[in-house]
Amino acid sequence: MLCRRIVACLDVADGRVVKGTNFVNLRDSGDPVELAKRYSDEGADEIVFLDIAASHESRPTLLGVVSKVARQVFVPLTVGGGVRCVDDASLLFNAGADKVGVNSAAVRRPKLLTELSNAFGIQATVLAIDAKRAANSWIVYLMGGREATQLDAVDWAKAGQDAGAGEILLTSMDADGVRQGFDLDLVNAVCAVTNIPIIASGGAGSTGHFVDLFSRTDASAGLAASILHERSTSILSIKEALSSADIAVRPA
C-alpha cells in the first residue's frame, strides 16, 4: 500500500505566512523560511508554498522567498501563485521548486496544463482547485477565493487531469480554517472521477481528522496549516495517530 502523505502548507502574503478562516480574516503566522525548515525537519512529506496574492496583484511569485525556502528544505516543494506560462514555471524550478501549482490561469486557459506537463513532466504539474459548496455541488473560485466562476469543481478536476495535471491540490473553502474536519464529500467526489493523486486541503483540526480522511477517502495526502503554525499538534503526532489506525505513512 502506498504511504499517505502529510503536507505542510505555507500561504504567503507580503513575504509572511498568513492564515485565515474561509479565505478571509488573515493573520500573521510567521516567517516562511523558518517555518519551512521546521516542517522539513519535523518530518513533513512535502511542503506547499502558495503566494496567495500574486494572481490578484498581477505579479510573479516571490522568487527570492521561494529560493530561500528551497535551500532550507529536503522534501519536495510545490510552489503556486502567479504562474501564467511555461516561463513563469521555469523561474520557479530554477529557484528550487520541485512542482508548480496553477489555479486561475489554468481555468482561463486549460492548455497551460498541457504546456506545463509537456515541458516539465506530469509529476511536476499540480492543479490547485479552490472549491465552495453551491447547493448539491461545488463551484471553482479564482484569485485567491475572490472571484466565483460557473465552473463545477468536480467536472474541472476531471478536465484538468485530462489536460495534463499530474496531481490536484483540492481546497474546500467552506472548511478552510474552521478545524472541523476535511470535506470528505468533496474529496470523494473528485477522487471518483480522477486517477491522479489528490491532496485534501481545508479543515484539519486534529489528528483524528487525518485518520477520518484516509479511512474514508482515497486521498493521497492531507494538508495542514494553522494547526501546525500554532503548534496545536505536530507532524509526528499526526503520523503516530495514522500508524495506530493501520494507515501507512512514512516515518517522521
Cβ neighbours of 83 (radius 10 Å): 30
Residues with Cβ within 8 Å of residue 131, at least 6 apart in sequence: 138, 139, 140, 141, 153, 170, 171, 172, 173, 186
d(CA 90, CA 92): 5
Q: What is the rounded distance in angstroms from the CA atom of residue 26 to the CA atom of residue 28?
A: 7
Catalytically annotated residue among 11, 31, 88, 183 = 11
- Point out the catalytic residue in the list 31, 45, 130, 183: 130
**Catalytic-residue membership of 11:** yes
Give dist(CA 31, CA 10) in Å, integer. Answer: 9
Nearest CA among 144, 198, 195 for reference residue 169? 198
Decide if 176 is catalytic: no
Residues with active-site annotation: 11, 130
